[in-house]
């Protein structure tokens, strides 16, 4: 069987999965149009790169479905000058999207092999405003704090306190909160030391493992 037309698949994704479901931020849509999602999955999954589902990657992790990537990114309300902390580099696809939309991305991944592989792909795409860290994402990365935005790509029972502390006043953290199996994606704005939250969508993410998250 001949491989599918990935350009056509990407255009269908942008129209059917994103625009028709309410993703309206043109900068987010442009970033999703630019970044080649197929480069972040194994060769056997290239034909599925723009499918409406999450895909497995190494270390029992996943690359989120395109709609969830777009929804989380749009909820960050990025204008171009922000410093963003990403918890869970994974494949590096979400990292690449963020790099198109903000001034600087610091991304933490606990699996060293995933971080290394993502780094190679991101470098190949010319993403020069990204710093990759191997470590416990639940503790954040205080050396570069505060952050204007924080994106957590794994599920927690509660927002880790170190991340809240490292978020600048007026900043936004987007995080899936709930149990290990089903969560609610939330956007939490930090204003004057208080938190305002908005529920965005039901979701299912892999657990956020670490000192301030789920046990291994």
CA distance 30 to 106: 21
The reply to whether the predicted model has a pTM over 0.75 is: yes
Supply 98's token pair.
């963020």
Locate the domains of the chain by residue range.
Answer: 6-203
pLDDT at 181: 85
pLDDT at 194: 81
64 is catalytic: yes
Tens of pLDDT along 164-205? 999 999 999 999 999 988 999 999 999 987 888 899 999 999
Q: Which fold has domain 6-203?
A: Rossmann fold (3.40.50)
Note every long-range contact of 111-117, with CB atoms under 8 Å and residues 24 or more positions apart, other chains counting: 111/58, 111/59, 111/61, 113/58, 113/59, 114/57, 114/58, 114/59, 114/61, 114/89, 114/90, 115/89, 117/58, 117/91, 117/92
Which residue is associated with the tokens 């960050």? 76
Nearest C-alpha neighbor of 41 from the set 33, 51, 49, 53: 49
pLDDT at 146: 97
Tell me which of 51, 64, 115, 195 is the catalytic residue.
Answer: 64
- Per-residue pLDDT tens listing for the chain (216 residues): 557 899 999 999 999 999 999 999 999 999 999 999 999 999 899 999 999 999 999 988 999 999 999 999 999 999 999 999 999 999 999 999 999 999 999 999 999 999 999 999 999 999 999 999 999 999 999 999 999 999 999 999 999 999 999 999 999 999 999 998 899 999 999 998 788 889 999 999 999 999 999 898
């Amino acid at each position: 069987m001949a491989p599918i037309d990935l350009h056509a698949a990407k255009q269908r994704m942008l129209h059917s999965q994103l625009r028709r479901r309410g993703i309206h931020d043109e900068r987010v849509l442009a970033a999703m149009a630019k970044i080649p999602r197929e480069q972040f999955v194994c060769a056997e999954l290239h034909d599925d790169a723009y499918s409406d589902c999450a895909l497995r990657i190494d270390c029992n992790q996943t690359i989120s479905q395109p709609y969830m990537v777009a929804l989380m990114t749009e909820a960050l309300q990025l204008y171009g000058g922000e410093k963003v902390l990403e918890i869970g580099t994974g494949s590096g696809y979400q990292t690449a999207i963020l790099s198109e939309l903000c001034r600087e991305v610091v991304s933490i991944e606990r699996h060293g092999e995933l971080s290394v592989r993502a780094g190679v792909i991101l470098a190949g795409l010319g993403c020069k405003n990204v710093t990759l860290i191997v470590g416990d994402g639940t503790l954040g990365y205080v050396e570069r704090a505060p952050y204007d935005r924080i994106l957590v790509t794994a599920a927690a029972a509660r927002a880790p306190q170190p991340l809240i502390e490292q978020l600048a006043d007026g900043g936004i953290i987007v995080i899936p909160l709930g149990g290990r199996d089903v969560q609610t994606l939330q956007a939490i704005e930090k204003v004057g030391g208080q938190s305002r939250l908005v529920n965005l969508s039901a979701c299912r993410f892999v657990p956020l493992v670490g000192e301030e998250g789920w046990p291994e």
